[in-house]
Amino acid sequence: MYSMSSRFVLSNCFVLMLWLALSGFMLSPSLIPRDQILAGGPPKDGIPALNHPKMESSDAADRWLADSDLVLGVVADGQARAYPIRILNWHEIVNDKIGNHAFVVTYCPLCGSGMVFDIADQFGVSGLLYQSDVLLYDRKTESLWSQLMMQAVTGSRAGEKLTSMPIHHGSWQAWKAVHPQTMVLSRETTYRRDYSRNPYVGYEDSSATYFPINHHDSRLHAKTWVLALSMAGRHKAWPINRLIQQGSHRERWGDIELMFEIHGDSIQVKDTSSAQLLPATRLYWFAWSTFHPDTELAKD
């Protein structure tokens, strides 16, 4: 769990230098300002990533997951898996594989952003943040990777891109209704964590962020949930509640016609010309607008 105080902020430069010395992370070359890489609280791997995770059936998960609990849902090689936010709050990264398809599940509690990347590398939680977003690191080179920038930002792999997979980020009820045979990340992680407790209780209801960000966009409350999409260098966000009220519909965005398929709080976006499912991201408005200050905002 991340934490912050004024004293922590003032001493962050010293803490960061100490952590880098202990962790071995190299910040050269760096694609982001080094003084904006912040120590989040836990050290390197203090938030432990899950590797080769144990899965259980939908029926078994129903014994402890509430219908309203949020999950990240993934389909790969025809198989569905769900990763409860209850668990991701404590681990943030799951290195997983379905058949021959390897991928990494990532979640940043501070940004509310869940993203799954199509990559075979093993990742860990660095304990560092950029613009309040988690910085991952790959275990081969220990380069740092920005989740929301979807690329390596320091080290020998700086500039290398990540490919995002389409996912469901919504309620357990909505996911299992569409994928009743889904497997679910088990609470048997080998770590002693209280997965019934939310370590970030109250955070969603506040307009404040634990860590400083460069850009503040007042068009929406900072913690408004939005569905965001980037295509051809353009960025756009749709408030989740507004999409749910509209229901399934089509709308144009430039030269593209998008199809929003909405079932409960499950929202998927397709390019109608190809019927391809697009990798939209659900997250807090402040996080999206910080990384994409030029983003368009859907109107009523």
Q: pLDDT tens for residues 157-195? A: 999 999 999 999 999 999 999 999 999 999 999 999 999
Say if residues 167 and 175 touch (Cβ distance below 8 Å): no
* pTM passes above 0.85: yes
C-alpha 257/C-alpha 270 separation (Å) is: 8
CA 160/CA 138 separation, integer angstroms: 12
Per DSSP, 161 falls in state B
Picking from 142, 175, 208, the residue at the C-terminal end of a domain is 208
pLDDT in tens, 104-151: 999 999 999 999 999 999 999 999 999 999 999 999 999 999 999 999
Based on the fold, state whether residues 76 and 177 are members of the same structural domain: yes
Q: What are the backbone dihedrals phi and psi of residue 244, each rounded to the nearest 5 degrees, phi first? A: -65, -40
Q: Where does the pLDDT of residue 52 fall: very low under 50, low under 70, confident under 90, or very high at 90 and above?
A: very high
Q: Are residues 265 and 194 in the same domain?
A: no
Mean pLDDT on 266-275: 93
- Let me know if residue 133 belongs to a domain: yes
Instruction: Say how far apart CA 294 and CA 25 lie, in whole Å.
Output: 31
pLDDT score of 36 = 93
Count of domains forming the chain: 2
Residues 293 and 167 in one domain: no
Q: How far apart are CA 258 and CA 268, in angstroms?
A: 10
Same domain, 149 and 285: no
- Residue length of the chain: 300
How much is the average pLDDT of 51-57?
97
> Within this chain, do residues 47 and 190 fall inside the same structural domain, yes or no?
yes
Residues 80 and 11 in one domain: yes
Question: Kind and range of the H or E element at 164?
Answer: strand 164-165
In a domain, 37, yes or no: yes
Q: Are residues 190 and 254 in the same domain?
A: no
* Same domain assignment for residues 67 and 190: yes
According to the model, what pLDDT value does residue 25 have? 85
CA distance 1 to 91: 9
Nearest to 176 by CA among 65, 42, 58, 291: 58
- Residue 197 contacts by C-beta under 8 Å, 6 or more apart in sequence? none
pLDDT of residue 143: 95
In a domain? residue 131: yes
On whether both 16 and 143 belong to a single domain, the answer is yes
Number of neighbours of residue 17 by Cβ within 10 angstroms: 11
Assess if residue 102 is contained within a domain. Answer: yes
| Residue 226 reports pLDDT greater than 70 | yes
| Cis peptide upstream of residue 199 (ω within 30 degrees of 0) | no
Q: Are residues 259 and 290 in the same domain?
A: yes
Same domain flag for 190 and 285: no
Structure tokens at 275: 């019927």
**Strand duo 55-57 + 183-185: pairing:** antiparallel
Amino acid identity for residue 258 in this structure: L
Q: What is the rounded distance in angstroms from the CA atom of residue 30 to the CA atom of residue 201? A: 34
Structural tokens at position 228: 């965001």
The pLDDT of residue 41 is: 85
Residue 6: band (very low, low, confident or very high) from pLDDT cuts 50, 70, 90: very low
Range of the domain at 285: 225-297
